[in-house]
């Protein structure tokens, strides 16, 4: 059944976001929570099937068909057709229990509905089944992937000079599609490992008597601590602390004075050939990231052979961001002892549990300061979740659009601003992503594209050659007609690249497209934060505490004053009332996480009104709530049985450090102190607000309904727990 909206004149009193020129186009970007654009999607899919079918008929039109009318009339054909329809219907029936990412009520993982252009890009290219491992298997979708890579690099903020090879000081960046952020992170660490230890491979090759033609490489001058020195004069540790640019320049410089055949021999002396046993003992690899890092980082270290122990988790601060002071201490220790080489420091732009954005500015500052003392390292940004938030601050530029001009002069001429801007900290860090060496960004997360679609972008495209098995680093600037050799995967669907390409064609990755979409989500996430913050009253038998602190809490004061302000300025008011109230908008901008993810826990009160102080009982309550509020929680549970879908997890001392955990358990009213030899673990609930519509429905704001559903489940489970405790 096609969903029909009531005429605008029949709508209830308005609770709608402003319909400024251009904002209506957002309605054409998604199928809609009630499949409002069903007819549009059917029309688009029909167009794709017809276009593909015409391609088949146009290819050598004199070639005969196979499926004749005579074959269609046979019983065997009819039986096959009946089986196809029957099993398709069976599959459709089974899919009916799938997680409803598109629903207002889905607020769990970093996944939501996919854009209509992304759907159409995937479906259209799927009909051709292209394999982007090589251009000969995917001449069209390979080019689409190259264009998507350029688009992502521009969105991130990497410099984008003309790729003519004439100016070595302005080398262009490069990006490509991976199956996911995990694979992108693995490739980033793999290429970083190979880059950092590449100077040692050059020296090994030059020192080998079998390569007399490479002997001049020993005297190649390289810049270390601001001074030019022969490569052979550096210690092993010093040689692994050259800048990224310095290392990537080495093969190009060698090719200016030596035969290319000689330079190619270096490959046999690198880690790709010899393995990690070739790493000197005083250059053992170290990778630093916050304790909130994704599990892909220790996995990557294990897979590339440096061992998961090389990944050193550092504490986070009270905003769940990397504790930069602790990083500084660890880096100075390595500089003093010189027993480890820092391969990379990972800055997380949107942690998967809290949406926190690490201080890229401080990490870059530390590198610049330590570089003068002799310690250097690669800065990688894990923006798998948060990378697309750079679009909120990215200005549009028609000339930068890949693939030719668009027929949208009116849209480009309009002024588009996010409904709610990113907080000042996040804006500062997003502006600096282009100064980092590599960035992971996942179109299938905050890019609203179908799986699989991760991506890895390099600031200097030469870095990609560090993970090929075709040749060592060479100075190539022009795009090759192939992307598959640069990375971990072999075969990969051209449909994924087509999906991202078409989504970017319609929703530009700047503030006119994705910026508007994510700006609306930021507004909704802040409203949801206010709803959770104010949900419990003094008379309720529970307390809800968010990891993301209120302004009062950040100032070291209790949250009660902010709770009252939220009730007065945010809760119960319409979107228009909030948008027209400067005080409300200013307060709203101070609420929530860095990037849409809200992390919280519920503690209960005993029947005498006193707060529970036992961490174990609090964890039991949140574990049960997670079971009740997730589709996978109970056998036979369907999406219709879960009125508010969240996800869950745990945070603990070992990963996060004691500071954040101390603060969180204290705010929950718990007295849990860390016993020696035991780590505290706190079970939490997580809501990711990727829905741009749910405060702006035909019937107004959905948050009160969601809060009512959540309150009902909490009260039921608190009552059960109170009975157990008192019995």
pLDDT per position as a tens digit, 609-655: 999 999 999 999 999 999 999 887 565 678 888 999 999 999 999 99
How far apart, in whole angstroms, are the C-alpha atoms of residue 684 and residue 625?
A: 10
Please give the pLDDT value at position 634: 61
Please give the pLDDT value at position 421: 86
Q: Which residues pair with 311 in a beta bridge?
A: 287
Please give the pLDDT value at position 160: 72
How far apart, in whole angstroms, are the C-alpha atoms of residue 289 and residue 297?
A: 9
With tokens 């190539």, the residue in question is 476
- Is residue 19 pLDDT above 70, yes or no? no
- Is residue 147 pLDDT above 90, yes or no? yes
Please give the pLDDT value at position 111: 92
Please give the pLDDT value at position 495: 97
Average pLDDT over residues 188-211: 96
Q: pLDDT tier at 483 (50, 70, 90 boundaries)? A: confident
Average pLDDT over residues 433-448: 97
Letter string b/e over residues 547-570, b meaning 16 or more CB atoms within 10 A of that residue's CB: bbbbebbeeeeebeebbebbeebb
Please give the pLDDT value at position 635: 57
Please give the pLDDT value at position 561: 96
- Is residue 375 pLDDT above 60, yes or no? yes
CA Rg, the chain, in Å? 28
What lies within 8 Å, CB to CB, of 10 at 6+ separation is none
Q: pLDDT tier at 13 (50, 70, 90 boundaries)? A: very low
How far apart, in whole angstroms, are the C-alpha atoms of residue 82 and residue 335?
A: 71
Q: How many CB atoms lie within 10 A of CB 217?
A: 25
Mean pLDDT rounded to a whole number for the chain:
89
Average pLDDT over residues 70-95: 95
Contact between 173 and 439 under an 8 Å Cβ cutoff? The reply is no
Q: What are the pLDDT digits (tens) for 657-666?
A: 999 999 999 9
- Is residue 261 pLDDT above 80, yes or no? yes
How far apart, in whole angstroms, are the C-alpha atoms of residue 458 and residue 187?
A: 11
Please give the pLDDT value at position 448: 97
How far apart, in whole angstroms, are the C-alpha atoms of residue 278 and residue 692?
A: 52
Please give the pLDDT value at position 164: 40
Q: pLDDT tier at 590 (50, 70, 90 boundaries)? A: very high
Length of the chain: 727
Q: Output the CATH code of domain 12-86+110-196+285-401+414-514.
A: 3.40.640.10
Please give the pLDDT value at position 125: 96
Please give the pLDDT value at position 40: 96
- Strand pairing of 438-441 and 454-458? antiparallel
pTM of the model: 0.91
Average pLDDT over residues 351-377: 97
- Is residue 407 pLDDT above 50, yes or no? no
Give the largest CA-CA distance in the chain. Answer: 87
Q: How many CB atoms lie within 10 A of CB 216?
A: 13
- What are the structural domain ranges in the chain? 12-86+110-196+285-401+414-514, 198-269, 535-548+592-726
Q: pLDDT tier at 167 (50, 70, 90 boundaries)? A: very low
Output the CA angle 470-474-476, nearest 5 degrees: 105
Q: Which residues pair with 652 in a beta bridge?
A: 681
Higher pLDDT residue, 341 or 167?
Answer: 341
What lies within 8 Å, CB to CB, of 81 at 6+ separation is none
Letter string b/e over residues 379-397, b meaning 16 or more CB atoms within 10 A of that residue's CB: bbbbbbbbbbbbbbbbebe
- Is residue 418 pLDDT above 90, yes or no? no
Higher pLDDT residue, 485 or 622?
Answer: 622
Higher pLDDT residue, 163 or 519?
Answer: 519
In 225-291, where does DSSP find H-type helix? 236-239, 244-255, 260-264, 271-274
């Amino acid at each position: 059944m096609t969903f029909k909206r009531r005429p605008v004149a029949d709508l209830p009193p308005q609770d709608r976001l402003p319909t400024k020129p251009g904002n209506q186009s957002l309605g054409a970007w998604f199928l809609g929570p009630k499949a409002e654009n069903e007819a549009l999607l059917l029309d688009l899919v029909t167009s794709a099937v017809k276009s593909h079918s015409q391609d088949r008929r146009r290819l050598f039109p004199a070639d005969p068909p196979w499926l004749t009318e005579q074959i269609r009339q046979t019983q065997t054909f009819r039986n096959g057709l009946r089986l196809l329809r029957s099993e398709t219907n069976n599959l459709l029936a089974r899919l009916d229990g799938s997680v409803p990412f598109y629903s207002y009520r889905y607020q769990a993982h970093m996944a939501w509905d996919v854009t209509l252009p992304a759907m159409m890009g995937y479906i259209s290219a799927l009909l051709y089944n292209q394999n982007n491992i090589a251009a000969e298997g995917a001449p069209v979708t390979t080019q689409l992937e190259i264009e998507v890579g350029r688009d992502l690099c521009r969105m991130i903020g990497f410099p984008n000079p003309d790729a003519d090879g004439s100016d070595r000081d302005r080398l262009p960046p490069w990006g490509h599609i991976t199956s996911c952020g995990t694979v992108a992170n693995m490739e980033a660490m793999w290429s970083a490992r190979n880059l950092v230890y590449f100077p040692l491979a050059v020296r090994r090759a030059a020192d080998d008597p079998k390569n007399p033609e490479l002997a001049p490489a020993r005297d190649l001058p390289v810049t270390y601590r601001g001074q030019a020195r022969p490569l052979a004069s550096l210690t092993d540790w010093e040689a692994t602390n050259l800048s990224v640019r310095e290392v990537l320049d080495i093969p190009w410089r060698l090719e200016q004075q030596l035969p290319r055949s000689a330079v190619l021999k270096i490959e046999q002396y690198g880690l790709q050939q010899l393995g990690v046993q070739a790493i000197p003992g005083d250059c053992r690899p170290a990778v630093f990231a916050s304790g909130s890092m994704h599990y892909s980082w220790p996995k990557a270290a294990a897979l590339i052979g440096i061992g998961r122990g090389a990944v050193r988790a550092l504490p986070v601060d009270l905003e769940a961001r990397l504790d930069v002071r602790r990083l500084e201490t660890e880096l100075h220790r390595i500089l003093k002892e010189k027993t480890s080489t820092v391969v990379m420091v990972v800055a997380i732009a949107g942690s998967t549990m809290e949406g926190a954005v690490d201080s890229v500015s401080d990490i870059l500052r530390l590198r610049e300061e330590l570089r003068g003392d002799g310690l250097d390292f690669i800065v990688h940004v894990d923006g798998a979740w948060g990378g697309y938030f750079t679009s909120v601050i990215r200005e549009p530029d028609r000339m930068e659009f890949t693939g030719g001009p668009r027929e949208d002069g009116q849209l480009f001429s309009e002024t588009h601003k996010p409904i709610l801007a990113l907080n000042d900290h996040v804006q500062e860090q997003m502006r600096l992503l282009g100064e980092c060496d590599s960035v992971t960004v996942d179109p299938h997360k905050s890019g609203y594209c179908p799986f699989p679609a991760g991506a890895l972008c390099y600031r200097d495209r030469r870095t990609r050659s560090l993970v090929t098995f075709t040749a060592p680093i060479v100075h190539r600037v022009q795009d090759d007609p192939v992307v598959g050799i640069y990375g971990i995967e072999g075969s990969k669907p051209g449909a994924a690249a087509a999906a991202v390409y078409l989504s970017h064609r319609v929703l530009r990755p700047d503030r006119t497209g994705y910026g508007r979409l994510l700006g609306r989500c930021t507004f909704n996430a802040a409203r949801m934060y206010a709803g959770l913050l104010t949900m419990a009253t003094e008379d309720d038998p529970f307390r809800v505490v968010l990891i993301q602190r209120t302004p009062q809490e950040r100032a070291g004061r209790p949250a009660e004053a902010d709770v009252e302000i939220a009730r007065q300025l945010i809760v119960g008011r319409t979107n228009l009332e909030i948008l027209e109230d400067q005080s409300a908008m200013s307060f709203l901008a101070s609420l929530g996480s860095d990037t849409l993810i809200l992390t919280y826990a519920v503690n209960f009160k005993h029947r005498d009104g006193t707060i529970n102080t036992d961490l174990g009982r609090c964890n039991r309550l949140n574990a049960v709530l997670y079971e009740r509020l997730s589709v996978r929680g109970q056998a036979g549970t369907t999406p219709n049985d879960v009125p508010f879908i969240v996800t869950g997890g745990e945070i603990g001392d070992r990963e996060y450090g004691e500071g954040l955990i101390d603060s969180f358990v204290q705010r929950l009213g718990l007295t849990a102190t860390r016993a020696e030899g035991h780590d505290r673990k706190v079970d939490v609930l997580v809501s990711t607000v990727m829905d741009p519509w749910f405060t702006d429905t035909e019937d107004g704001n959905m948050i009160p309904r969601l809060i009512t559903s959540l309150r009902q489940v909490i009260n039921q489970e608190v009552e059960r727990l109170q009975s157990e405790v008192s019995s």
